[in-house]
Amino acid sequence: MNVLVLNCGSSSLKFQLISTDLELIERNDDRRLAHGQVERIGGAAIITFVAEGREPYRSAMPIKSIRMALEKVLQWIMSDDSKIDEIGSLSDIHAVGHRVVHGGEHFTESVMMSDAVLRGIEDCIDLAPLHNPANIHGIVAAREVLGKELPQAAVFDTAFHQTLPDHAYLYALPYQLYRRHRLRRYGFHGTSHRYVAYRYRTIRNIPRDQVNIITLHLGNGCSIAAIKSGNSVDTSMGLTPLEGLVMGTRSGDVDPAIVEFICSKEGLSIHEVESIFNKQSGLLGISGLTNDMRELIAEADENDDRRARLAIEIFCYRVRKDIGAYLAAMNGAAAIIFTGGIGENSARIRSSICKDLAFAGVSLDPKANDRHHEGKEGVVSSDASKIAVYVVPTNEELLIARDTVRLIGEKK
């Protein structure tokens, strides 16, 4: 079965085409056929499409809407240019899996698409005004272009964290705000945390209910999750993805009184301050240079840039502090898992985060740690470490494709 996985943002469409079915999942043999993205939709768009093992196809052209972008993707997939043997016509695409950012309290797992599900996703727009509308455009476009009969599934970033207990998801705000507006912690990156937890139990060959781990998704966006007996019991992102760790351009936790303070000192609106928190803070805000961890490390090493060093130090300190908090929240963990662009690739950051976790019995094996980058999965802690440390490359798209196939299987 060929599943098209779509991730639609406000001005971008990312896709992967994945060949999978229940048997391939069982054998861990499902594979990506192609991937790519259309960026800057609404203006002069930039297209990058890649068939596995081939040179990327790049182009720039005006693309007005997500629907037009999707048409472009499909044209390329079917064209002789892409040389994807498995696809001769549109009918060789058997299903679509959509990444949907916010499923509120309504969606606790992945679901097959229907009019009612689409309405449910629309109901969550209030909670994710920047993300859900783009996801809906993607779903509507796929229905229009590929036909309503083609099976489609929605996989939510929030769903995995719907197992959080009320003491972890409620803010200490007037309770009626939760009752009236569903104002609470939802958490994001759920598909990533779920995927690496699944890999961990597969590597260890243990049942789901024996998975007691802390997962760290450190990419442009960063979040930490406490997973106890296989379920997410706490996570650092909140009502929105702004809360928690220091990220590329997001501040993570700050004193909420700072909003009013900046408004009055800088003469800005709440909207403008929110934009500072989301787009000009984090690694970029502290360093004044970049949100890219690789560049920050180079600046710190080659030019001894003080603020680049400070940004890296604050980033690592905050992750370490949260690991300590989560060890307490879940009464200890068997393993810590690093994933995301930074978590998967940077031995330096992993080592800096773990160095003062000796109190909890964490010790890295420096050689193993140095070896793990660019997609390598495995253990990076020493044999003596009381808590094992793993690097597990995430694969949200694969999980979305697999959920789609499983849901189709259940329906039959």
342 binds ligand ADP (CB under 6 A): yes
Contact 387, 333 (CB under 8 A): yes
Residue burial 314-329, b: 16+ Cβ < 10 Å; e: rest: bbbebbbebbeebbeb
Q: By Cβ distance, which residue is nearest to ligand ADP? A: 341
196 binds ligand ADP (CB under 6 A): no
138 binds ligand ADP (CB under 6 A): no
The residue among 292 and 365 lying less far from ligand ADP, judged by its C-beta, is 292
The residue among 169 and 390 lying less far from ligand ADP, judged by its C-beta, is 390
Q: Would you give the end-to-end CA distance of the chain in angstroms?
A: 15
CB of 263 to ligand ADP, least distance (A): 29
Closest CA to 340 of 250, 167, 224, 238: 224
Q: What Å distances lie between residue 185 and 128, 175, 229, 242, 356, CA to CA?
A: 13, 13, 20, 11, 29
Catalytic-role residue among 21, 30, 157, 403: 157
Closest CA to 200 of 110, 334, 96: 334
The residue among 132 and 394 lying less far from ligand ADP, judged by its C-beta, is 394
278 binds ligand ADP (CB under 6 A): no
The residue among 294 and 371 lying less far from ligand ADP, judged by its C-beta, is 294
- Proportion of the chain in helix, strand, coil states, percent, rounded to 5: 45, 20, 35
Q: What is the DSSP-derived secondary structure letter of residue 357?
A: G
CB of 352 to ligand ADP, least distance (A): 11
Distance CA(332)–CA(340), nearest Å, equals: 23
Residue carrying structure tokens 């992945």: 110
136 binds ligand ADP (CB under 6 A): no
Residue carrying structure tokens 């000009």: 280
Q: What is the DSSP-derived secondary structure letter of residue 91?
A: G
The residue among 181 and 294 lying less far from ligand ADP, judged by its C-beta, is 294
241 binds ligand ADP (CB under 6 A): no
* Residue 317 half-sphere exposure toward CB, CA atoms < 13 A: 7
Binds ligand ADP (CB under 6 A): choice among 346, 363, 381, 404: 346
293 binds ligand ADP (CB under 6 A): yes
279 binds ligand ADP (CB under 6 A): no
Which tokens belong to 16? 């992967």
253 binds ligand ADP (CB under 6 A): no
252 binds ligand ADP (CB under 6 A): no
Binding segment for ligand ADP (CB under 6 A), chosen from 20-28, 31-39, 291-299, 380-388, is 291-299
CB of 372 to ligand ADP, least distance (A): 11
Provide the residue type at 87 as one letter: I
Is 157 a known active-site residue? Answer: yes
* Residue 73 half-sphere exposure toward CB, CA atoms < 13 A: 30
CB of 61 to ligand ADP, least distance (A): 24
Binds ligand ADP (CB under 6 A): choice among 7, 212, 345, 363: 345
CB of 287 to ligand ADP, least distance (A): 12
294 binds ligand ADP (CB under 6 A): yes
Provide the residue type at 39 as one letter: E
Closest CA to 153 of 338, 403, 410, 397: 403
Residue numbers annotated as active site? 157
Instruction: List interacting residues with ligand ADP (CB under 6 A).
Output: 219-221, 248, 292-294, 297, 340-342, 345-346, 373
